[in-house]
Amino acid sequence: MTTIPFPNESGSWNKVMLAGKELPGIAHVSIDWDVEINVHKAKGKSGATTTEQGVDPAKIDIELMITTKDQLNEWFSQFQDLWHLKGKGGAVPILHPKTLGYRIKSVILKSLKDDSGKEGEGDRYRVRIECLQFLAPSATGSKTTKKLDPRRQVLGEDLPNAPRPSVTNTNP
Protein backbone atom coordinates (compact mmCIF):
# COMPACT_ATOMS: atom_id res chain seq x y z
CA MET A 1 0.00 0.00 0.00
CA THR A 2 1.19 3.49 -0.84
CA THR A 3 2.06 5.73 2.09
CA ILE A 4 0.31 9.07 1.75
CA PRO A 5 1.89 12.05 3.50
CA PHE A 6 -0.18 14.18 5.84
CA PRO A 7 -1.15 17.50 4.17
CA ASN A 8 1.17 19.72 6.22
CA GLU A 9 4.13 17.33 5.80
CA SER A 10 4.49 17.56 2.05
CA GLY A 11 4.21 20.03 -0.80
CA SER A 12 2.71 17.24 -2.93
CA TRP A 13 -0.76 18.29 -1.71
CA ASN A 14 -0.31 21.56 -3.63
CA LYS A 15 0.41 19.81 -6.93
CA VAL A 16 -1.65 17.62 -9.24
CA MET A 17 -0.69 15.72 -12.38
CA LEU A 18 -3.09 15.13 -15.28
CA ALA A 19 -2.10 13.07 -18.30
CA GLY A 20 1.43 12.77 -16.94
CA LYS A 21 2.04 16.54 -16.66
CA GLU A 22 2.17 18.61 -13.50
CA LEU A 23 -0.33 21.45 -13.69
CA PRO A 24 1.06 24.91 -12.89
CA GLY A 25 0.18 26.92 -9.81
CA ILE A 26 -1.13 25.80 -6.45
CA ALA A 27 -3.69 23.02 -6.74
CA HIS A 28 -6.58 22.29 -4.42
CA VAL A 29 -8.31 18.96 -5.08
CA SER A 30 -11.71 18.03 -3.69
CA ILE A 31 -13.51 14.71 -4.08
CA ASP A 32 -17.24 14.12 -3.79
CA TRP A 33 -18.76 10.63 -3.78
CA ASP A 34 -22.49 9.92 -3.87
CA VAL A 35 -24.57 6.79 -3.55
CA GLU A 36 -27.58 6.60 -5.87
CA ILE A 37 -30.67 5.95 -3.75
CA ASN A 38 -34.12 5.38 -5.19
CA VAL A 39 -36.94 6.46 -2.86
CA HIS A 40 -40.29 4.71 -3.38
CA LYS A 41 -43.16 6.61 -1.80
CA ALA A 42 -46.11 4.51 -0.76
CA LYS A 43 -49.36 5.89 -2.15
CA GLY A 44 -52.00 6.54 0.48
CA LYS A 45 -49.71 5.37 3.26
CA SER A 46 -47.17 7.00 5.47
CA GLY A 47 -43.57 6.02 5.03
CA ALA A 48 -41.42 5.11 2.10
CA THR A 49 -38.90 2.48 1.10
CA THR A 50 -35.42 3.02 -0.25
CA THR A 51 -33.28 1.01 -2.61
CA GLU A 52 -29.55 1.55 -3.02
CA GLN A 53 -28.69 1.65 -6.71
CA GLY A 54 -24.91 1.70 -6.33
CA VAL A 55 -22.07 4.19 -6.04
CA ASP A 56 -21.80 6.92 -8.66
CA PRO A 57 -18.37 7.79 -10.09
CA ALA A 58 -16.53 10.26 -7.87
CA LYS A 59 -16.60 13.94 -8.78
CA ILE A 60 -13.16 15.49 -8.66
CA ASP A 61 -12.72 19.26 -8.67
CA ILE A 62 -9.30 20.73 -9.27
CA GLU A 63 -8.84 24.39 -8.51
CA LEU A 64 -5.61 25.98 -9.68
CA MET A 65 -4.39 29.27 -8.26
CA ILE A 66 -1.90 30.68 -10.72
CA THR A 67 0.28 33.47 -9.37
CA THR A 68 2.94 34.17 -12.02
CA LYS A 69 2.97 35.05 -15.70
CA ASP A 70 5.10 31.96 -16.47
CA GLN A 71 2.55 29.68 -14.73
CA LEU A 72 -0.26 31.33 -16.71
CA ASN A 73 1.53 30.75 -20.03
CA GLU A 74 2.28 27.16 -19.02
CA TRP A 75 -1.41 26.64 -18.14
CA PHE A 76 -2.64 27.87 -21.52
CA SER A 77 -0.09 25.63 -23.24
CA GLN A 78 -1.10 22.55 -21.22
CA PHE A 79 -4.81 23.33 -21.54
CA GLN A 80 -4.71 22.84 -25.31
CA ASP A 81 -3.15 19.38 -24.89
CA LEU A 82 -5.59 18.36 -22.13
CA TRP A 83 -8.70 19.47 -23.96
CA HIS A 84 -7.48 17.76 -27.14
CA LEU A 85 -7.42 14.49 -25.15
CA LYS A 86 -10.94 15.22 -23.91
CA GLY A 87 -12.19 15.47 -27.49
CA LYS A 88 -11.06 11.89 -28.09
CA GLY A 89 -13.36 10.69 -25.30
CA GLY A 90 -10.57 9.11 -23.33
CA ALA A 91 -9.73 9.13 -19.68
CA VAL A 92 -6.55 10.75 -18.46
CA PRO A 93 -4.42 9.56 -15.55
CA ILE A 94 -4.52 11.68 -12.39
CA LEU A 95 -2.01 11.81 -9.55
CA HIS A 96 -2.54 13.59 -6.23
CA PRO A 97 -2.36 12.31 -2.62
CA LYS A 98 -6.17 12.34 -2.32
CA THR A 99 -6.71 10.40 -5.53
CA LEU A 100 -4.08 7.89 -4.40
CA GLY A 101 -5.86 7.45 -1.08
CA TYR A 102 -9.24 6.89 -2.73
CA ARG A 103 -7.69 4.74 -5.48
CA ILE A 104 -8.84 6.99 -8.31
CA LYS A 105 -6.42 6.37 -11.14
CA SER A 106 -7.98 8.18 -14.08
CA VAL A 107 -10.62 10.78 -14.79
CA ILE A 108 -12.73 12.13 -17.61
CA LEU A 109 -12.49 15.91 -18.02
CA LYS A 110 -16.02 17.25 -17.74
CA SER A 111 -15.80 21.03 -17.69
CA LEU A 112 -13.55 24.01 -17.19
CA LYS A 113 -14.49 27.18 -15.35
CA ASP A 114 -12.30 30.23 -15.70
CA ASP A 115 -13.85 33.20 -13.92
CA SER A 116 -10.65 35.08 -13.14
CA GLY A 117 -10.39 38.82 -13.25
CA LYS A 118 -13.02 39.48 -10.60
CA GLU A 119 -12.80 42.52 -8.38
CA GLY A 120 -10.42 41.87 -5.49
CA GLU A 121 -8.63 38.89 -7.11
CA GLY A 122 -5.50 40.98 -7.47
CA ASP A 123 -2.58 39.08 -8.93
CA ARG A 124 -4.22 35.66 -8.77
CA TYR A 125 -5.65 33.71 -11.65
CA ARG A 126 -8.09 30.91 -10.76
CA VAL A 127 -9.11 27.98 -12.94
CA ARG A 128 -11.45 25.15 -11.94
CA ILE A 129 -11.49 21.79 -13.72
CA GLU A 130 -14.39 19.43 -13.06
CA CYS A 131 -13.72 15.74 -13.62
CA LEU A 132 -15.50 12.43 -13.18
CA GLN A 133 -13.81 9.25 -12.06
CA PHE A 134 -13.32 6.92 -15.01
CA LEU A 135 -14.80 3.49 -14.40
CA ALA A 136 -14.19 0.96 -17.14
CA PRO A 137 -17.15 -1.22 -18.09
CA SER A 138 -17.12 -4.49 -16.19
CA ALA A 139 -17.07 -7.64 -18.31
CA THR A 140 -18.09 -9.87 -15.43
CA GLY A 141 -21.35 -9.48 -13.65
CA SER A 142 -22.76 -7.01 -16.12
CA LYS A 143 -26.31 -7.68 -17.09
CA THR A 144 -28.43 -6.13 -19.76
CA THR A 145 -32.11 -5.93 -19.23
CA LYS A 146 -34.26 -7.01 -22.14
CA LYS A 147 -37.96 -6.48 -22.42
CA LEU A 148 -39.77 -9.75 -22.75
CA ASP A 149 -42.61 -10.24 -25.20
CA PRO A 150 -45.22 -12.41 -23.44
CA ARG A 151 -46.41 -13.75 -26.81
CA ARG A 152 -43.03 -15.36 -27.43
CA GLN A 153 -42.42 -16.90 -24.01
CA VAL A 154 -41.78 -20.62 -23.71
CA LEU A 155 -44.09 -21.99 -21.05
CA GLY A 156 -42.84 -24.39 -18.43
CA GLU A 157 -43.29 -28.13 -19.09
CA ASP A 158 -45.70 -28.55 -16.18
CA LEU A 159 -48.25 -26.13 -17.64
CA PRO A 160 -49.69 -28.43 -20.35
CA ASN A 161 -50.49 -31.02 -17.64
CA ALA A 162 -52.22 -28.51 -15.36
CA PRO A 163 -55.91 -29.16 -14.73
CA ARG A 164 -58.19 -27.24 -17.03
CA PRO A 165 -61.09 -25.25 -15.63
CA SER A 166 -64.48 -26.82 -16.13
CA VAL A 167 -66.83 -25.54 -18.77
CA THR A 168 -69.51 -24.80 -16.19
CA ASN A 169 -67.17 -22.71 -14.02
CA THR A 170 -67.41 -25.15 -11.14
CA ASN A 171 -64.54 -26.87 -9.49
CA PRO A 172 -62.93 -29.57 -11.67
Q: How far apart are CA 127 and CA 63, in angstroms?
A: 6
Question: Would the CA dihedral through 98, 100, 104, 108 be positive or negative?
Answer: positive
Class of domain 7-39+50-137: mainly beta
95-127 pLDDT tens trace: 999 999 999 999 998 988 987 776 656 678 899
Q: How far apart are CA 89 and CA 109, in angstroms?
A: 9
29-55 pLDDT tens trace: 999 988 888 888 877 767 778 888 888
CB of 71 within 8 A of CB of 65?
no
b/e sequence 63-102, b meaning 16+ C-beta within 10 Å: bbbbeeeebbebbeebeeebeeebeeeebbebbbbbbbee
- pLDDT in the model for residue 153: 47
